[in-house]
Amino acid sequence: MPRVGLSPDLLVTAAAELADDVGFAQVTLSALARRFGVRTASLYAHVDDLDHLRAQVAVRALAELADRTAEALAGRSGRDALAALAAAQREFALSHPGRWQATRYPVDAATARASAGPRIADLNRAVLRGYALPESEQVHAVRLIGAAIHGYLDLQQSGSFDHSTPSADQSWDRAVDALDTLLRHWPTPATDPEPAS
Amino acid sequence: MPRVGLSPDLLVTAAAELADDVGFAQVTLSALARRFGVRTASLYAHVDDLDHLRAQVAVRALAELADRTAEALAGRSGRDALAALAAAQREFALSHPGRWQATRYPVDAATARASAGPRIADLNRAVLRGYALPESEQVHAVRLIGAAIHGYLDLQQSGSFDHSTPSADQSWDRAVDALDTLLRHWPTPATDPEPAS
DNA sequence: GTGTGCGCCTACAGCCTATAGGAAGTTGGG
DNA sequence: CCCAACTTCCTATAGGCTGTAGGCGCACAC
């Protein structure tokens, strides 16, 4: 009986592909084992348990998303950068739906810190440099932009836009446009000259 | 052995509560049966299968969300209405996390049409009446507003904001503010005087 | 060739969904 | 009042999933 040559890394890779095929929630050790022509129990030599596997897929998905976003952002700024950021994330979500879902899998604090999550936040923040936002408003803007992009892709993926007239794709460009406008007119609250000391 | 008095409606209600307790994904026929002190098999007399039960919970959750949103919107307009809409959805998401998750459970087309989903879209649209948006831009605005609110609450629930400094709550008001501003300055594309005939 | 270790195996326990068919509880007609 | 029919919940069973324990054999080092 020839050995298959499993490894933690290989399993995570295959799990990510599986997620794209059947959905992140349907990633199962059984299915993964089947893919390798191996018994489920054999996987436990390389993976702690299902939750751990999912967390690893999440971490990898975040890293890939960060990579692609960084690549898309290189050399761009302002509206251009915003559009590139949005396009990169959209492209990722559409071409890798399972990994995209994995992106929101809750992982423990230490893993989260060590993941590419913060890097993605930094990239979002970098986009804001093209807009004149006060330092104190940046977190809020980053979050809203992130939420809008994320929410849009999420609603689209779950089919919420399937039952109304213009296709989800058509609204996307308008949405990016709107976000650009928003960043240009970002409402700064009554400026607090001296932050409470 | 006294009868418990199960019914489809009762089961859906209990399933929704269970979802809020343990998460929508953890809603299980076993757990539901346990809650009633009844064998799992007994539930099949009242419910088709797990998927059907989840779909019913989704439908109910949408209806509740629509009700609360409608209530919050009554007699308000403009910025006020937007804030009320956002607050109602946020309040729902925080107090009923399981139902909130259920909201995005994909259901078949017929069920979706008959659900309160369209009603929620209408309510979102109603908020826009307080802003001067051309008819053709409304769908896009509805979607973006929906996506932003949804995405924000989703990211918050999955803990994406837990590891950065200002609490998720603090950004929320700024986000609503920003959305209001956006609707006031909604970018209309180069007006196409005569739609292609 | 032989040993040693790792890679994958079988076996099993426990929980889950789902189906089939049986036995009580409930209700209405006579 | 009582029995028949119906409904509700039961037991039994099959099959898929996670996870653990322990065994066998392939592959490489010597």
pLDDT band of residue B197 (cuts 50, 70, 90) is very low
- CB-based contact B189 A178, cutoff 8 Å: no
Give mean pLDDT, residues B21-48. Answer: 95
pLDDT at A191: 61
Give mean pLDDT, residues B127-143. Answer: 93
pLDDT band of residue B156 (cuts 50, 70, 90) is very high
Q: Which residue is nearest to nucleotide D20 (CA to C1')?
A: A41
- CATH number of the domain located at residue range(s) A8-184 in this protein: 1.10.357.10
Location of structure tokens 């969300």: B65
Tokens coding B115? 């659900």
- CB-based contact B140 A178, cutoff 8 Å: yes
Q: State whether residue A97 sits within 8 Å of chain B by CB.
A: no
Q: Is the CB of B160 under 7 A from strand C?
A: no
Residue A97 CA to D24 C1' — how many Å?
41
pLDDT at A62: 97
3-state DSSP of chain A: CCCCCCCHHHHHHHHHHHHHHHCHHHCCHHHHHHHHCCCHHHHCCCCCCHHHHHHHHHHHHHHHHHHHHHHHHCCCCHHHHHHHHHHHHHHHHHHCHHHHHHCCCCCCHHHHHHCCHHHHHHHHHHHHCCCCCCHHHHHHHHHHHHHHHHHHHHHHHCCCCCCCCCCHHHHHHHHHHHHHHHHHCCCCCCCCCCCCC
Rg (CA), chain B: 20
Residue B150 CA to D13 C1' — how many Å?
44
Burial (Cβ within 10 Å: 0-12, 13-18, ≥19) of residue A26: exposed
pLDDT at B1: 53
Q: State whether residue B137 sits within 8 Å of chain A by CB.
A: yes
* A160-189 as b/e: b if 16+ CB within 10 A: bbeeeeeebeebbebbbbbbbbbbeebeee
pLDDT at B115: 95
Name the 3-class secondary structure at B85: helix
Residue numbers in A near B189 (CB within 8 A): 174, 177
pLDDT at A197: 39
What is the C-alpha separation between A46 and A31, in angstroms, rounded?
Answer: 16
Pick from B141, B155, B182: which is nearest to A147 by CB?
A: B155
Dump pLDDT digits (tens) for B77-116. Answer: 999 999 999 999 999 999 999 999 999 999 999 999 999 9
Pick from A113, A170, A178: which is nearest to B163 by CB?
A: A113
Give mean pLDDT, residues B154-164. Answer: 87
Low-confidence ranges of chain A (pLDDT < 50): 196-197
